[in-house]
């Protein structure tokens, strides 16, 4: 039986897609003077930012390019970030029914808390694991294993909910069931990760609730 929901953040709990896309386009324009195809950007959604920065801007220290990205994102986040219809309502229902809920994200703790504060939803979650908590990130198993340890949960009692291959492969590697959400815009990520296999797919938050309740 599932007792714990592990949530990816961007694109799963909150629609930050436009924020992230425009922040990447700003960074490409800053360094290369041009924008990139959306598909090039979305395939890397969920990858730790510094990893992507090192690959996309190999002549720039990753922390420098990440700073360009993050400073721009701060300026637009409050306007462009949007709630995903029905998702926070589902989280609130699950909380009321006694499920433990933990965010597992490649985002920094500061930015995750900033978004949660913006939407006043931080109270819904029991804990979180961010890129600040471990040196090993998705798609490796460490973020999920740390989340399970922090929240006090066995692998067979948890399910990872995400919108991309990094989330699903992280769950695969950790030995945890996974759900791929249907409101994603992420690409296949086939160039950077292979063989991610989700256990379930939920087109809507209502579908996700049924999946969670169905697992015995």
As given in the structure block, the two tokens for residue 171 are 């769950």
Side-chain-side CA neighbours of 21 within 13 Å: the count stands at: 17
End-to-end CA distance of the chain: 4
Q: Would you call the peptide bond into 107 cis, given omega within 30 degrees of 0 as the criterion?
A: no
Between CA 130 and CA 174, with CA 136 as vertex, the angle to 5 degrees is 90
Q: Is 59 a catalytic residue?
A: no
Locate the DSSP E strands across 62-207: 82-83, 100-104, 127-129, 158-162, 177-181, 200-202
Side-chain-side CA neighbours of 80 within 13 Å: the count stands at: 16
As given in the structure block, the two tokens for residue 140 are 């490796």
94 Cβ partners below 8 Å, 6+ apart? 5, 101, 209, 212
Please give the Cα distance from 148 to 126 (Å, whole number): 11
Question: Which residues are part of the catalytic machinery?
Answer: 8
């Amino acid at each position: 039986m599932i007792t714990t929901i592990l949530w990816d953040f961007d694109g799963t709990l909150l629609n930050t897609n436009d924020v992230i896309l425009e922040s990447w386009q700003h960074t490409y324009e800053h360094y290369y003077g041009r924008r990139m195809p959306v598909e090039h950007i979305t395939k890397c959604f969920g990858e730790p930012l510094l990893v992507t920065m090192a690959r996309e801007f190999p002549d720039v220290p990753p922390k420098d390019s990440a700073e360009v990205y993050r400073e721009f994102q701060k300026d637009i986040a409050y306007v462009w970030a949007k709630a995903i219809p029905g998702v926070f309502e589902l989280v609130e229902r699950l909380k009321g029914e006694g499920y433990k809920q933990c965010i597992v994200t490649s985002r920094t703790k500061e930015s995750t808390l900033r978004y949660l504060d913006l939407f006043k939803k931080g109270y819904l979650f029991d804990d979180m694991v961010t890129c600040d908590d471990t040196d090993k990130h998705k798609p490796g198993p460490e973020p999920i294993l740390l989340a399970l340890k922090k929240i006090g949960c066995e692998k067979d009692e948890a399910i990872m909910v995400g919108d991309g291959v990094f989330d699903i492969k992280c769950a695969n590697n950790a030995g945890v069931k996974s759900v791929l959400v249907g409101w994603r815009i992420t690409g296949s990520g086939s160039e950077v990760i292979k063989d991610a296999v989700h256990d379930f797919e939920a087109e809507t938050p209502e579908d996700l609730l049924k999946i969670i309740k169905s697992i015995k």
